[in-house]
């Protein structure tokens, strides 16, 4: 395991338990060329794979004419302007207006451990966990150095990559594109796997066959977005959960991104990820450096399931921080779907009293507690408690809740300002805007220009003061629009192209201050549901609200797509009332509980107003949460069946890491009559061991459960669900 450099072949070899990644230094100029990424290799004899003798532009066959070479060679980090006509990672403009870049190998360093990325979220690991490699390339004409950073984790099939671009020349250089990573490899009839959606329909799974040219997923919305996930997978034909090859690329970033694959004339795929170059232009003065975000690459030759479990383990152990990562989170009740803006102290306490009786552990007060916020048209930015609604303020509410045995959590949306707010009236220049135009409104609000130090400082002081004013143990940090009308009144004209990225850095800075100042706080990120569900935000919060759509059947698809990459412990999921708020659908209370259990679990309803029959089920569901949460939070997740594919039922399994138990959840979405009985083949059990199914008392061999399948009970009615708990005996 680890990283090596062979002085003779000039090949770097990065090994994880089951994968190898090889690239090398080319002889003529010192270009860095990619050779291989896939199943683990014993040695580095892969240099021959890198063909450089493709046909040139003209009919003559002249071998290594420079442009033919550049336009076909598999570059580790391609650069613009020199004759590689495919998409590049790095593009610049010099003071004189030129864009040609050509950087060759200079030196390298291999070491244990992993360095943090300045100002950016990233995976982390100790010297025992991982090894890192820095390869330096230089362009002596421009005076630019590119440091390519790689990390391999000892016991996970994951490799991380990022780049740092340093101006060591005499003149200012403008970066017009600075992506994080590239992978050039032969097209093996790949399809592209990506996650698409919309508000309330986040992260739907999509495959499309690659064609010649460029294709990908992008965000130009200032955030990672509901619409596209900063992820791209390349899958071989017939990929399933257990068979086929997949290359996963996930960007640890929360702003505009590009994740693109280009199939070239020679049937090579070039996959690139990084900050979207749209409206990006970064001024780099002599002596300055620019750090790109990190890409997490995972290769699996055993289907999607193994890629998924690698991402889950990596994020749980090497991305999420803080004490709540490994702790059972309190079962919360959130008042949003119960009351919207229409609540006061008494209403909240009524909910709290009933919730406490049912075993719920925390009340989260959502939007509407501050300023003049009686609806969503006003008051964002006026972060002062509305004493009309809450006499005695947050402190009194917290005390009353604590007196009932409940913790207190609070919603905030600190990145925003309403045009109708005292804050905006005093500081109209604090919103992101283009002078001379009224910025477009979304949910009747503007985005604060957090790139200005005084704005960031003001917002931070408000957050700090609110959180210090009462015993607040949880925060839901919301963000209910995307960025438009890009312009900062605090940046000079030549730096306006830095605004998108600076905005993301400012959000990271605020959240870093928050988690450092309040280390025991449980933070849940949110953006109109799951509009900023990305690995960057997970560095600050161990959980993210997955979607405003709380309908349990819609959630099956949303949570399946989300769990393709994210551990269940991160997926904000609540039981809500029926007919569902947005969908109008009625699903049994039991099914709603089973679906929410495959996430953080909590409630989003007026517990005083639901039927007695539903309310009576809450204590049992809370007990179920306490029984299974360790397993759900820490176990191995297997997707056994998808209603998206079969049109009838969903099934997933979670195995304890020590193999002692497993939980299978089966949801029959559409009821059918006179159909064959159903079995689901389980995964990850020990073939020679026996398992008892708690709910039926039956025992089976692990081999039987995996190769023949667990019989599932025929259920009558739509949207019904069952749990099967397997105990190894
Ligand atoms: C967003 C969130 C919801 C709720 C509302 C409040 O839509 O996703 O959960 O907090 O804002 O305005």
* DSSP summary character for residue 487: -
Instruction: Please name the residue whose Cα sits nearest to atom 6 of ligand 1.
Output: 367
CA 89 to ligand 1 center in whole angstroms? 37
Q: What average pLDDT does the segment 458-482 reach?
A: 98
User: What residue has token string 């953080």?
Assistant: 600
Known catalytic residues are 478, 548
Cα–Cα distance, 338 to 331 (Å, whole number): 16
The residue nearest atom 1 of ligand 1, judged by CA position, is 528
Residue 524, ligand 1, Cβ within 6 A: no
Task: Report the range of poorest mean pLDDT among 47-61, 507-521, 527-541, 546-560.
Answer: 47-61
Where do the DSSP E strands lie in 488-569? 522-525, 543-545
Whether residue 372 contacts residue 386, with contact meaning beta carbons closer than 8 Å, is answered with yes
Give the separation between CA 254 and CA 544, rounded to whole angstroms. 13
Distance (Å, rounded) from C-alpha 130 to C-alpha 109? 14
Asked whether 366 lines ligand 1 (CB < 6 A), one says: yes
Interval between CA 518 and ligand 1 midpoint (Å): 23
- For residue 332, how far is its CA from the centre of ligand 1 (angstroms)? 16
Tens of pLDDT, residue by residue over 257-283, are 999 999 999 899 999 999 999 999 999
Candidate from 223, 374, 529, 602 with most ligand 1 atoms within 8 A of CB, to mutate? 529
State whether the beta carbon of 535 lies less than 6 angstroms from ligand 1.
Answer: no
Q: How far is the CA of 286 from the centre of ligand 1 (A)?
A: 44
Residue 726's pLDDT band, with cuts at 50, 70 and 90, is very high
pLDDT at 50: 74
Report the CATH fold assignment for 332-634: TIM Barrel (3.20.20)
Closest CA to 572 of 590, 558, 586, 585: 558
Give the bridge partners for 664, in sequence order. Answer: 653, 724
Minimal-distance CA residue to ligand 1 atom 4: 336
Question: How much distance in Å is there from the Cα of 426 to the middle of ligand 1?
Answer: 26
CA 142 to chain centre: 36
CA atoms within 13 A on the CB side of 246: 33
Residue 592: predicted pLDDT: 98
Task: Ligand 1 pocket test: pick from 333, 481, 525, 528 the residue with the most ligand atoms within 8 Å of its Cβ.
Answer: 528
76 Cβ inside 6 Å of ligand 1: no
Mutation test residue for ligand 1: of 479, 480, 603, the one with most atoms within 8 Å of CB: 480
Q: How far is CA 545 from the centre of its chain?
A: 12
Q: How far is the CA of 177 from the centre of ligand 1 (A)?
A: 34
Where in the chain do CATH 3.20.20.70 domains reside? 332-634
| Pocket flag, ligand 1, residue 411 (CB < 6 Å) | yes
Task: Kindly report the average pLDDT of the chain as a whole number.
Answer: 96
Euclidean distance between CA atoms 118 and 133, whole angstroms: 17
Helices and strands counted in the chain (H then E): 14, 39
pLDDT at 674 (0 to 100): 85
Measured in Å, residue 392 CA sits from the centre of ligand 1 at 25
What is the rounded distance in angstroms from the CA atom of residue 101 to the CA atom of residue 144? 9
Report whether 470 contacts 393 (CB < 8 A). yes
Q: Which CATH number fits domain 640-728: 2.60.260.20, 2.60.120.10, 2.60.40.1180, 3.30.2320.50?
A: 2.60.40.1180
Which ligand 1 atom lies nearest to the CA of residue 527? Answer: 8
Query: Ligand 1 center to residue 683 CA distance, Å?
Result: 37
Cα of 203 vs centre of ligand 1, distance in Å, is 18
Alpha-carbon torsion (603, 605, 609, 611), positive or negative: negative
What are the φ/ψ torsions at residue 508 (nearest 5 degrees)?
Answer: -60, -40
Give the atom of ligand 1 at the shortest distance from the alpha carbon of 526.
Answer: 8
Measured distance CA(502)–CA(509) in Å, rounded: 10
Q: Which atom of ligand 1 is nearest to the CA of 366?
A: 10
Tokens of 213: 């040219």
CA distance 499 to 488: 7
Q: What is the pLDDT of residues 414-451, one digit of tens each?
A: 999 999 999 999 999 999 999 999 999 999 999 999 99
The rounded distance, in Å, linking the Cα atoms of 592 and 600 is 13
Mean pLDDT confidence for 678-692: 97
pLDDT at 57: 58
Asked if pLDDT for residue 62 goes beyond 60, the answer is no
- List the structure tokens of 724: 């099967």
Q: Which H or E element spans position 593?
A: helix 589-597
Q: What share of the chain is helix, strand, coil (3-state, %, to 5)?
A: 25, 30, 45
d(CA 680, CA 695): 16
**H/E element holding 348?**
helix 345-357
Query: Taking the mean position of all CA atoms in its chain, how far away is CA 423?
Result: 32
Distance between CA atoms of residues 108 and 110, nearest Å: 7
Q: Which two tokens stand for residue 283?
A: 């001024």
Is the CATH code 2.40.50.100 the one for domain 2-318?
no
Angle between helices 393-403 and 345-357 (to 10 degrees): 20
Would you state the pLDDT for residue 258? 98
Residue count of the chain: 729
* Mean pLDDT score, 250-262: 98
Compute, in angstroms, the gap from residue 262 CA to the centroid of ligand 1: 38
| Greater model confidence, 52 or 17 | 17
The model's pLDDT over 199-220, given as tens digits with 9 standing for 90+, comes to 999 999 999 999 999 999 999 9
Residues 6 or more apart whose CB falls under 8 angstroms from that of 675 comprise none
pLDDT band at residue 47 under the 50/70/90 scheme: confident
Atom of ligand 1 nearest to the CA of 548: 8
CB neighbourhood size of 696 (10 A): 13
Question: φ and ψ at 702, to 5 degrees?
Answer: -60, -40
Find out whether the beta carbon of 202 lies less than 6 Å from any atom of ligand 1. no
How far apart are alpha carbons 345 and 369 in whole angstroms? 10
Q: What is the pLDDT of residues 487-500, one digit of tens each?
A: 999 999 999 999 99
The model's confidence at residue 46, banded by pLDDT at 50, 70 and 90, is confident
66-80, 315-329, 390-404 — which is least confidently predicted?
Answer: 66-80
In the chain, the percentage of residues whose pLDDT exceeds 70 is 98
Helix (H), strand (E) at residue 536: helix 535-538
pLDDT digits (tens, 9 = 90+) for 566-593: 999 999 999 999 999 999 999 999 999 9
Please count the other Cβ atoms lying within 10 Å of the Cβ belonging to residue 209: 10
Tell me the average pLDDT across 523-543. 98
State whether the beta carbon of 239 lies less than 6 angstroms from ligand 1: no
Tell me which DSSP letter residue 530 carries: B
Test site for ligand 1: of 340, 367, 413, most ligand atoms within 8 A of the Cβ? 367
Which residues in the chain are classed under CATH 2.70.98.60?
A: 2-318
Q: Is the CB of 477 under 6 A from ligand 1?
A: no
Q: Is the CB of 409 under 6 A from ligand 1?
A: no
Atom of ligand 1 nearest to the CA of 545: 8
pTM for the predicted model, two decimal places:
0.98
CA nearest ligand 1 atom 11, residue: 528
511 within 8 A of 523, measured Cβ to Cβ: yes
Q: Where in the chain is the domain with CATH 2.60.40.1180?
A: 640-728
pLDDT level of residue 60 (50, 70, 90 thresholds):
low
- Confidence (pLDDT) at 59: 57
* Average pLDDT rounded to a whole number, residues 659-671: 96
pLDDT on residue 116: 98
The verdict on the CB of residue 545 being under 6 Å from ligand 1 is: yes
Q: Is 602 in the pocket of ligand 1 (CB under 6 A)?
A: no
Question: Which atom in ligand 1 lies closest to the alpha carbon of residue 411?
Answer: 10
Q: Phi first, then psi: what are they for 503, rounded to 5°?
A: -60, -45
Q: Check residue 72 and give its pLDDT.
A: 86
What are the distances in angstroms from CA 177 to CA 275, 279, 280, 498, 510? 8, 10, 7, 11, 26
């Amino acid at each position: 395991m680890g990283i090596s450099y062979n002085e003779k072949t000039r090949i770097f070899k990065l090994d994880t338990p089951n994968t190898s990644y090889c690239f090398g230094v080319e002889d003529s100029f010192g270009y860095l060329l990619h050779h291989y990424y896939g199943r683990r290799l014993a040695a580095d004899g892969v240099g021959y794979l890198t063909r450089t003798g493709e046909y040139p532009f003209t009919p003559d066959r002249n071998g290594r004419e420079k442009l033919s070479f550049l336009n076909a060679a598999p570059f580790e980090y391609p650069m613009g302007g020199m004759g590689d006509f495919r998409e590049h990672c790095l593009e610049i403009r010099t003071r004189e207006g030129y864009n040609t870049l050509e950087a060759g190998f200079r030196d390298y360093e291999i070491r244990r451990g992993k360095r943090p990325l300045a100002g950016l979220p990233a995976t982390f690991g100790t010297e025992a966990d991982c090894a890192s490699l820095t390869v330096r390339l230089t362009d002596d004409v421009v005076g630019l150095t590119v440091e390519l950073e790689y990390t391999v984790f000892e016991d996970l099939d994951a490799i991380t990559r990022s780049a740092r671009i340093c101006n060591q020349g005499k003149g200012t250089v403008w970066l017009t594109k600075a992506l994080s990573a590239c992978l050039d490899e032969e097209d093996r009839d790949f399809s592209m796997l990506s996650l698409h959606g919309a508000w309330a329909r986040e992260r739907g799974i999509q495959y499309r066959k690659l064609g010649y040219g460029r294709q990908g997923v992008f965000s130009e919305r200032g955030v990672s977005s509901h619409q596209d996930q900063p992820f791209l997978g390349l899958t071989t034909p017939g990929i399933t959960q257990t068979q086929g090859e997949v290359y996963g690329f996930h960007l640890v970033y929360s702003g505009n991104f590009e994740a693109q694959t280009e199939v070239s004339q020679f049937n090579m795929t070039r996959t690139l990820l990084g900050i979207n170059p749209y409206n990006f232009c970064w001024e780099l003065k002599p002596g300055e450096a620019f750090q790109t975000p990190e890409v997490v690459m995972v290769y699996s030759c055993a289907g999607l399931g193994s890629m998924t479990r690698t991402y889950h383990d990596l994020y749980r152990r090497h991305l999420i921080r803080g004490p709540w990562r490994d702790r059972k989170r309190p079962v919360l009740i959130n008042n949003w779907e119960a009351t919207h803006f229409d609540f006061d102290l008494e209403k909240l306490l009524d909910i709290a009293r009933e919730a406490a009786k049912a075993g719920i552990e925390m009340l989260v007060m959502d939007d509407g507690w501050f300023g003049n916020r009686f609806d969503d048209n006003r008051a964002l930015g006026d972060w002062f408690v509305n004493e009309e609604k809450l006499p005695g303020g947050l402190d009194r509410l917290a005390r009353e809740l604590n007196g009932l045995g409940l913790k207190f959590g609070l919603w905030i949306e600190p990145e925003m300002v309403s045009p109708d707010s005292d804050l905006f009236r005093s500081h109209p220049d604090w919103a992101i805007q283009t002078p001379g135009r009224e910025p477009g409104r979304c949910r009747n609000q503007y985005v604060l220009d957090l790139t200005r130090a005084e704005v960031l400082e003001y917002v931070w002081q408000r957050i700090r003061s609110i959180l210090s004013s009462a015993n607040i143990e949880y925060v839901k940090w919301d963000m209910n629009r995307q960025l438009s009308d890009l312009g900062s009144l605090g940046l000079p004209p030549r730096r306006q192209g830095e605004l998108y990225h600076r905005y993301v850095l400012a959000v990271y800075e605020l959240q870093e201050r928050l988690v450092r100042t309040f280390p025991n706080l449980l933070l849940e990120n949110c953006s109109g549901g799951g509009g900023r569900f990305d690995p960057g935000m997970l560095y600050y919060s161990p959980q993210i609200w997955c979607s405003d759509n709380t309908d349990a059947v819609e959630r099956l698809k949303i949570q399946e797509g989300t769990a393709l990459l994210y551990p269940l412990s991160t997926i904000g999921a609540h039981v809500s009332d029926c007919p569902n708020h947005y969908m109008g659908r009625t699903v049994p209370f039991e099914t709603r509980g089973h679906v929410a259990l495959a996430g953080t679990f909590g409630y989003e309803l007026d517990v005083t107003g639901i039927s007695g029959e539903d309310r009576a089920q809450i204590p049992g569901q809370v007990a179920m949460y306490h029984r299974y949460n360790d397993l759900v939070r820490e176990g191995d997740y297997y997707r056994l069946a998808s209603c998206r594919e079969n049109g009838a039922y969903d099934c997933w399994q979670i195995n304890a890491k020590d193999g002692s138990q497993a939980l299978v959840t089966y949801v029959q979405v559409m009821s059918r009559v006179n159909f064959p009985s159903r079995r689901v083949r389980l995964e990850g059990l020990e073939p020679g061991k026996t398992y008892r199914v708690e709910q039926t008392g039956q025992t089976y061999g692990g081999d039987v459960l995996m190769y023949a399948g667990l019989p599932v009970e025929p259920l009558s009615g739509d949207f019904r669900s069952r749990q099967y708990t397997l105990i190894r005996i």
